[in-house]
Structure 1
């Protein structure tokens, strides 16, 4: 059976396709044939050695945190052979081998049934990068939206940014703003249906937010960028606004004007999936799949590549930052 692995940390060329043993279900496990797996920035950080060794299983490691598949051996579970499932759960591609492979044995509770109205690639794109799940939990648990709320989700090309735009609309937001760098990306975002898009290379972000919100500022920011941008995002908050910090693709250090937080009564909240119970995460995934089936969210697929091009897939995600998710198929 084929699986993508890396045997040492390093560049994209560290990813190789190996022959590995066929999985067999252990107690409480199900064997799933992988139909499509997501590629995310986390996979790049794991391969490059950015994460501490304490978070990773000993190498070699199979990347891939999320994917879609078909049950081939249900073991002792109640799943039926042929069931289409979303595979998700803590630790895939980090503390245990992930989903960039042909088949895998996973705990039965890691599976969520796919509705008939959602095809394999749409479901895999929804899960890739955990953007939709992050956005949904951020906007329902950490910063619940009031009707008509103003939301800022920078980085429209990223999984979190684009998903937050869609989820905010579903949850009743009024004004939803995102960012894209350069005229070409701004045009692509507008063609995708996002009217309120800011190019931070052409206009000061805070000025743009005030212009688009009639001087009010935004009630919620979902920040998957981090770094120097976070300080500008804080300055875009309205009175009693909340910034939910979910990522740090631009860096882990930010400078924040504390008096602004104090005088505005604003808050910064950190996001981790470990804040939520497995039951809550399952409920959220089921809700997201239902929204996809109803076409209320439309996860986009930018490219589908075979396992043999895993390095190219990672490079595409990290360097090109396409609109839409990149998937691997066995």
Structure 2
């Protein structure tokens, strides 16, 4: 564990602020390494913000000390990645760059004296600099997590951020207890489905999920929710009141913000907890403090990446716990892996247009 803390300390000494923890670490160097890929690697490259990605052949990335080389099999597409290539994200990498921060694959090379990993290990990784949409990446071992070989590689790329966030939000922030009633907004998204999966199938709670279509409602119910609210034709507050016989929910988890956040707050039971996870709707809400007073309720936030610096033991536990549940067959991420590297632009449009259910993956191998 001291080695893990040492790696986190090294990150803190870099020039990157904590909010960039889940963004971007691996630099695709112009220096080649000698092994089977002497002719370079294929990658999706952003050469101009707001323009389509281009599929190009790049020199292989060089491997530094304490890094491992990974043959990338699946890369996740996240909303932050979409904003980044559009030039709308708060951090703008130097052009050109290879987008993507979350991926899975197999280790093909380790540094001399490496003891924690070996060639052939199945791993998932979170990078601090764009790198995922390439056939290879060299990353620091502190950002890599082993995947049991009985667990599909797709699960690794589809679960780190979403299930790590969900586990911490439920276990740590909300202090979830068996039998509680839990409301999840945007329940068909990657984090939303992870919340439903864990709350229903690990923590034994009654889950209500909010969705925007009947197709998404079906998936959320299959994942373990007891009820769904279709916010396109139903009022969240009224429906939750009906489903809970006027009591309200013990825990609400919101990743949308705006009016949905207020609906979640008004749907809480006495002494309920609202956990804010993100603002996908684009509006950061203002908390009406009088509601906190009247219901003796609370609002808490969860930023998963921050735990890598402030509490690295718990950060690692959030990943280890969910991977263990997956190995045991108790939970499983929902994803689509219909896109290949050549279709990277279609994958990004698919997510940007909110057509996805669960995580969108791009298959590279």
TM above 0.5: yes
Counterpart among 113, 136, 144 of residue 103 in structure 1: 136
**In the alignment, what sits opposite 2:250?**
219
**In the alignment, what sits opposite 1:57?**
93
Q: Distance in 1 between matches of 2:217 and 2:200?
A: 19
CA 1:187–1:109 in structure 2 vs 1: closer, same or farther (change >3 Å)? closer
Q: How far did residue 238 of structure 1 move?
A: 1.3
1:275 aligns with 2:306: yes
Question: Helix, strand or coil: the match of 1:82?
Answer: coil
Q: Please, which moves more after superposition, 270-279 or 32-41?
A: 270-279
Question: Helix, strand or coil: the match of 1:47?
Answer: helix
Question: Helix, strand or coil: the match of 1:228?
Answer: helix
**In the alignment, what sits opposite 1:325?**
359
Q: Distance in 2 between matches of 1:138 and 1:46?
A: 25
Instruction: Please give the TM-score of this superposition, normalised by the length of structure 1.
Output: 0.91
Q: How far did residue 217 of structure 1 move?
A: 1.0
Q: How far did residue 192 of structure 1 move?
A: 4.8
Gaps of 5+ in 2: 1-40
1:45 aligns with 2:83: yes
Counterpart among 123, 127, 134 of residue 85 in structure 1: 123
Counterpart among 284, 287, 290 of residue 321 in structure 2: 287
1:4 aligns with 2:38: no
- List aligned pairs for 1:109-128, cutoff 5 A: 109-127=142-160
Question: Helix, strand or coil: the match of 1:104?
Answer: strand
- List aligned pairs for 1:1-330, cutoff 5 A: 1-11=41-51, 13=52, 15-52=53-90, 55-76=91-112, 77-78=114-115, 79-89=117-127, 91=128, 96-127=129-160, 130-276=161-307, 277-330=311-364
Residues 149, 172 of structure 1: 8 Å contact kept: no
Q: How far did residue 199 of structure 1 move?
A: 0.9
Question: Helix, strand or coil: the match of 1:37?
Answer: strand
Residues 164, 304 of structure 2: 8 Å contact kept: no
Gaps of 5+ in 1: none
Q: Distance in 2 between matches of 1:171 and 1:228?
A: 30
Question: Helix, strand or coil: the match of 2:50?
Answer: coil
Q: How far did residue 193 of structure 1 move?
A: 4.6
Question: Helix, strand or coil: the match of 2:258?
Answer: coil
CA 1:67–1:151 in structure 2 vs 1: closer, same or farther (change >3 Å)? same
Q: Please, which moves more after superposition, 182-191 or 139-148?
A: 182-191
Q: How far did residue 232 of structure 1 move?
A: 0.8
Residues 154, 223 of structure 1: 8 Å contact kept: yes
Residues 74, 81 of structure 1: 8 Å contact kept: yes
Residues 220, 244 of structure 1: 8 Å contact kept: yes
Write out the 4+ residue segments of structure 1 that deviate beyond 4 Å after TM superposition.
none
Q: Distance in 2 between matches of 1:22 and 1:303?
A: 25
Superimposed CA distance per residue, residues 128-176 of structure 1 (whole angstroms, 9 cap, x where no aligned partner): xx22111101111111102212111111221111110011124424321
CA 1:143–1:195 in structure 2 vs 1: closer, same or farther (change >3 Å)? closer
Question: Helix, strand or coil: the match of 1:34?
Answer: strand
Q: How far did residue 272 of structure 1 move?
A: 1.4
CA 1:223–1:86 in structure 2 vs 1: closer, same or farther (change >3 Å)? same
Instruction: Please give the TM-score of this superposition, normalised by the length of structure 2.
Output: 0.82
Superimposed CA distance per residue, residues 14-70 of structure 1 (whole angstroms, 9 cap, x where no aligned partner): x11222221222011111110111111121111122222xx3432222111211111
Q: How far did residue 280 of structure 1 move?
A: 2.3
Q: Distance in 1 between matches of 2:306 and 2:251?
A: 19
Q: How far did residue 188 of structure 1 move?
A: 4.4
